């Protein structure tokens, strides 16, 4: 699980171009959107691509992904349960 | 209809400051982090967006009034993002494409990002018409200020030179006269003369067609006579394009050049030609 | 000083010219179908203009061997209609051309790039020579022998509203006597894939302002108006209506998403009403931006509620017929707004069943005839927070 979280953080930093942030600085339970890491609806689309490209998970409705995308913890949990690769 | 005169209150340009290398000029870019402080907004910006937004912010530095319109111009827009997205369509076979380059490829990205950074909800538009782009933006701004619909507004332009654009336009022979260039220049215009006012914009003209040098010279003469400025100094593109290079909105650098690099006060005509587009901007400088 | 509308021209998935559009609206027939213009793996409904480039060239009397972007061809079709409709009996008018597009000649550029990306010496240059937004405007100017002022606007989905706005202002300030203004976009792989990557394309026909809406459908087309100064009108001039109000405001909220309170949309509508010097209660019909996306329709309906309170006039989204034609949308919808006034009709919204829960606005679902309409508001919003509103009056 920890390996998955680390992998996820690195994928986020790369895909979302979070230039001033390191993987260590992203706290597992902090919100990714809004006040936390400050991600927005465009980032949600990029995260959907990470899920499909890296883990074979297909999501089609960004607006229904809010709970899954809440934090690194919720995202890793969802990937752990649904990953196809 | 013209209740007011229009003045240049402030200006900024990001332009090439080194010699052209292999026929290409590159803009001398500042440290964008110092200007675009919001990392959340900066992280998605491509080079042209950072260049345009920063030139706008530099123009507004130490300015207290809020622009009542943001009018941008670009000849070819966000080429790097457009190409990135085109490439991804091919390489990813239309599947799982990243939306970010598509979003950033729109021509009004720079104007939109300036509005977002400044929290500015005023009139916002973008002109994209070859070497008429910047002058179209100027005309829009001039009309609003002359009628008194706005008291101060931001007008500017930006174009980037990408390796692909350089290469394709070289194949078309566009760089025969001047090396390829790029840059961003922004102007804060207002309708009240102030202590810091740099110049008055007297008139703007755009003509299309295939004209001889003599025909163009005659058009310039007529334009100056019509505006009672026959004694105007002329800044032609032969003077400023060896510095900024050739690009669709190079005339905005020409205006910056005339305002900042030319000695003496009085009328100055900035004359530009690019393919079939010929433009003239007449200013009256107040400061040497 | 007011601005008269004396000519209209339109082409879209519904057909060519005002008459074919009116027929489609009356029949409740949308222009949606499969993609046929280019190769794609995406199976999404789109509203294509049902004529090939060859047919368009033939229709325009152009040399079949000469290369034009589809954008330029569609632009020529609609702008010629508007130009001929206005007639221009009097010589010597200063006529300007202000066009707009979101991607210009991308339909050709993307074909060029597919070859160029493999080998940089490949790709026919004349395929990419039409890439820039200004190209289609220059082609229209050549075609109609317009030698005066011309420029192009590109502000994504609100482009042609901003083109019309500049035209109106130039007439009001006496810089031009008449302006041909509007916009055009041809469907291409670039935009289809772009909107698909945003996950806002509905795989079913779009349902603007409906609670169950799930995205937009793309379309293509062109819409142009001829605007004229009062001074330039002759006794023979046919005046459809007047463009009395216009405004543009930036949402300054997010690069793509509209603000929850619809601030930019609210300001654009508010300022357009101020410019026309009328109250919200004067508006008889709103032609919505109404794309069918979750975000736009909620934001737009919130802004409308803020401005109109409980007295919301009849409203509909013609995008349920034409699809979202992007840079052409505001031009086409300006033409539709003019038709609403001249024909005394209100166009329906297709596929509307239940209102959005938060705002409860009910869209018109049947063609309404014999209406007494004096004032129409047309909304157009775009990426980059670019919101525009136009007001047409009898």
Cβ-count burial of B233 within 10 angstroms (0-12 exposed, 13-18 middle, 19+ buried)? middle
Neighbors of chain B with 3 or more C-beta pairs under 8 Å: A, C
Number of neighbours of residue A40 by Cβ within 10 angstroms: 16
Average pLDDT, chain A: 91
pLDDT in tens, C28-68: 999 999 999 999 999 999 999 999 999 999 999 999 999 99
C175: confidence class by pLDDT, cuts 50, 70, 90: very high
Asked if the Cβ–Cβ distance from A42 to B103 is below 8 Å, we say: yes
Q: Tell me whether residues B43 and A16 touch, CB distance under 8 A.
A: yes
* Mean pLDDT, rounded, for C147-160: 97
Q: Are C216 and C321 in contact (CB under 8 A)?
A: no
Model confidence band, residue B52 (pLDDT cutoffs 50, 70, 90): very high
Answer yes or no: do B112 and C384 touch at CB < 8 A.
Answer: yes
* Model pLDDT for residues C93-146, shown as the tens digit of each residue: 999 999 999 999 999 999 999 999 999 888 899 999 999 999 999 999 999 999
pLDDT reading at C264 higher than 80: yes
Does the beta-carbon distance from A42 to C256 stay under 8 Å?
Answer: yes
How far off is chain C from B188, nearest CA to CA, in Å?
Answer: 18
Domain boundaries, chain C: 3-232, 241-393
User: For residue B34, how far is the Cα from the chain centroid?
Assistant: 22
Determine phi and psi for C269, rounding to 5 degrees.
-65, -45
pLDDT number for residue B288? 59
Which of C264, C246, C241 minimizes the C-alpha distance to B149? C246
Task: Give the class (CATH, top level) of C241-393.
Answer: alpha beta
**Would you call B98 and A15 a contact, using CB atoms and an 8 Å cutoff?**
yes
Of the candidates A19, A45, A52, which has its C-beta nearest B43's C-beta? Answer: A19
Alpha carbon distances (Å) from B36 to A25, B44, B101, B106, B156: 22, 12, 19, 20, 17
Is some CB atom of chain A closer than 8 A to the CB atom of B93?
no
Give the per-residue pLDDT at B74: 98
Return d(Cα C124, Cα B272) in angstroms, integer.
29
All structural domains of chain B with their residue ranges: 6-190, 199-285
CA atoms of B12 and B35, how far apart (whole Å): 13
Question: Same CATH fold, C241-393 and C3-232?
Answer: yes
First to last CA, chain B: 31
Over the Cα atoms of chain A, what is R_g? 12
Q: What is the 3-state secondary structure (H, E, C) of B63-95?
A: CCCCCCEEEEECCCCCHHHHHHHHHHHHHCCCC
**Which of A41, A48, A61 has its CB closest to that of C256?**
A41
Contacts of B198 (CB under 8 A, 6+ apart): B7, B8, B9, B10, B11, B259, B285, B286, B287
User: Across chain B, what does the average pLDDT equal?
Assistant: 96
pLDDT at C90 over 70: no
Please report how many Cα atoms fall inside a 13 Å half-sphere around the Cα of residue C185, on the Cβ side: 33
Substitution target in B124, B142, B170, B207 with the highest count of C β-carbons within 10 Å is: B124
Cα–Cα distance list, C133 to B133, C9, C72, C159, C184 (Å): 10, 20, 10, 11, 10
**Residues of C tagged active-site:** 157, 289, 324
In CATH terms, is domain B6-190 a member of 3.30.300.130?
no
Q: Are C378 and C285 in contact (CB under 8 A)?
A: no
Question: Count of residues for chain A?
Answer: 85
> In angstroms, how far is CA C179 from the centroid of its own chain?
16
Contacts of A48 in chain C (CB under 8 A): 199
Whether C256 sits inside 8 A of A48 (CB atoms) is no
What is the C-alpha radius of gyration for chain C, rounded to an integer number of angstroms? 20
Q: Which CATH class is domain B199-285?
A: alpha beta
Residue with tokens 């010496």: C121
Q: Residue B111 and residue C155: Cβ atoms within 8 Å?
A: yes
Q: Is C198 on the interface with A (CB under 8 A)?
A: yes
- Asked if B90's CB is within 8 angstroms of C194's CB, the reply is no
Neighbouring CB atoms inside 10 A of C26's CB total 13
CB contact at 8 A, C97 and C137: yes
C322 CA: distance to closest CA in chain B (Å): 22
Is the entire prediction scored with pTM above 0.95?
Answer: yes
Q: Would an 8 Å CB–CB cutoff place B96 in contact with chain A?
A: yes
Distance from CA of C326 to the nearest CA of A (A): 20
When pLDDT is cut at 50, 70 and 90, the band that residue B2 belongs to is confident
End-to-end CA separation in angstroms for chain C: 15
Contacts of C137 in chain B (CB under 8 A): 129
Question: CA C213, CA C309: separation in Å to the nearest integer?
Answer: 23
> ipTM of the predicted structure?
0.97
Give yes or no for residue B1 having a pLDDT over 70.
no
Q: How far is C364 from chain B (nearest CA, A)?
A: 31
Q: How close, in Å, is residue B131 to chain C by CA atoms?
A: 9
Candidates 3.40.50.620, 3.40.50.10540, 3.40.47.10, 3.20.20.70; CATH matching C3-232: 3.40.47.10
3-class SS at C16?
strand
DSSP state for residue C156 in the 8-state scheme: G
- For residue A41, the chain C residue with the least C-alpha distance is C257
C-beta of residue C36 within 8 angstroms of C-beta of residue C48: yes
> Distance (Å, rounded) from C-alpha C255 to C-alpha B112?
7
Q: What is the pLDDT of residues B159-194, one digit of tens each?
A: 999 999 999 999 999 999 999 999 999 999 999 999
């Amino acid at each position: 699980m920890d390996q998955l979280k680390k992998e996820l953080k690195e994928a986020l930093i790369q895909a979302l171009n979070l230039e001033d942030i390191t993987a260590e600085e992203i706290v597992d339970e902090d919100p990714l959107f809004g006040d936390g890491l400050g991600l927005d609806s465009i980032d949600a689309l990029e995260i959907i691509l990470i899920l499909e490209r890296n883990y074979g998970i297909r999501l089609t409705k960004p607006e229904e992904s809010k709970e899954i995308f809440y934090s690194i913890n919720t995202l890793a949990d969802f990937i752990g349960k649904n990953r196809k690769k | 209809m013209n209740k007011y005169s229009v003045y240049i209150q402030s200006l900024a340009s990001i332009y090439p400051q080194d010699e052209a290398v292999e026929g290409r000029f590159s803009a001398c870019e500042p440290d964008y982090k110092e200007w675009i402080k919001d990392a959340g907004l900066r992280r998605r910006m491509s080079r042209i967006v950072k260049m345009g937004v920063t030139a706008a912010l530099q123009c507004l530095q130490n300015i207290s009034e809020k622009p009542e319109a943001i009018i941008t111009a670009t000849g070819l827009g966000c080429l790097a993002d457009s190409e990135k997205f085109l490439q991804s369509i091919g390489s990813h076979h239309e599947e799982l494409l990243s939306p970010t380059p598509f979003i950033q490829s729109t021509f009004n990205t720079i104007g939109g990002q300036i509005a977002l950074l400044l929290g500015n909800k005023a009139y916002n538009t973008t002109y994209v018409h070859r070497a008429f782009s910047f002058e179209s933006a100027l005309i829009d701004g001039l009309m609003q200020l002359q009628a008194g619909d706005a008291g101060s507004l931001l007008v500017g332009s930006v174009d980037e030179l990408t390796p692909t654009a350089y290469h394709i336009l070289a194949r078309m022979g566009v760089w025969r006269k001047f090396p390829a260039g790029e840059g961003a220049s922004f102007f804060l215009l207002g309708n009240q003369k102030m202590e810091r006012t740099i110049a008055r914009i007297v008139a703007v003209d755009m003509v299309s067609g295939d004209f001889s040098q003599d025909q163009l010279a005659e058009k310039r003469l007529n334009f100056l006579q019509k505006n009672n400025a026959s004694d105007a100094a002329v800044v032609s593109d032969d003077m400023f394009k060896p510095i900024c290079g050739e690009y669709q909105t190079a005339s905005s650098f020409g205006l910056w050049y005339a305002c900042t690099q030319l000695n003496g006060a009085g009328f100055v005509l900035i004359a530009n030609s690019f393919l079939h587009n010929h433009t003239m901007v007449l200013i009256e400088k107040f400061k040497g | 000083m007011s601005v008269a509308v004396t000519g209209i021209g339109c082409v879209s998935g519904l057909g060519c010219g005002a008459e074919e559009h009116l027929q489609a609206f009356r029949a409740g027939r949308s222009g949606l179908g499969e993609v046929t213009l280019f190769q794609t793996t995406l199976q999404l409904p789109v509203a294509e203009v049902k004529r090939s480039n060859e047919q368009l060239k033939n229709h325009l009397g152009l040399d079949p061997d000469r290369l034009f972007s589809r954008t330029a061809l569609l632009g020529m079709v609609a702008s010629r209609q508007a130009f001929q409709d206005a007639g221009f009996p009097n010589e010597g008018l200063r006529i300007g051309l202000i066009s707009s597009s979101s991607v210009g000649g991308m339909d050709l550029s993307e074909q060029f790039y597919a070859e160029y990306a493999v080998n940089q010496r490949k790709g026919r240059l004349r395929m990419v020579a039409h890439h820039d937004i200004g190209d289609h405007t220059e082609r229209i100017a050549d075609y109609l022998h317009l030698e005066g002022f011309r420029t192009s606007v590109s502000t994504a989905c609100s482009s042609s509203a901003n083109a019309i706005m500049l035209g109106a202002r130039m007439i009001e300030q006496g810089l031009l006597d008449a302006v041909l203004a509007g916009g055009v976009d041809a469907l291409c792989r670039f935009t289809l894939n772009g909107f698909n990557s945003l996950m806002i394309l509905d795989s079913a026909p779009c349902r603007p302002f409906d609670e169950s809406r799930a995205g937009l459908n793309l379309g293509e087309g062109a819409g142009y108006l001829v605007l004229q100064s009062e001074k330039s009108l002759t006794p023979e001039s046919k005046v459809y209506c007047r463009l009395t109000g216009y405004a543009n405001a930036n949402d300054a909220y997010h690069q793509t998403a509209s603000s929850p309170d619809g601030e930019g949309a609210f300001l654009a509508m508010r300022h357009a009403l101020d410019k026309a010097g009328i109250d919200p209660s004067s508006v008889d019909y709103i032609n919505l931006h109404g794309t069918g996306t979750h975000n736009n329709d909620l934001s737009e309906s919130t802004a409308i509620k803020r401005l109109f309170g409980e007295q919301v006039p009849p409203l509909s989204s013609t995008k349920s017929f034409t699809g979202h034609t992007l840079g052409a949308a505001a031009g086409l919808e300006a033409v539709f707004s003019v038709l609403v006034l001249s024909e005394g009709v209100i166009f329906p919204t297709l596929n509307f069943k239940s209102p959005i829960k938060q705002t409860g606005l009910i869209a018109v679902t049947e063609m309404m005839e014999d209406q007494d309409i004096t004032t129409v508001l047309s909304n157009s919003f775009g990426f980059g927070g670019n919101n525009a509103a136009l007001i047409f009056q009898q």
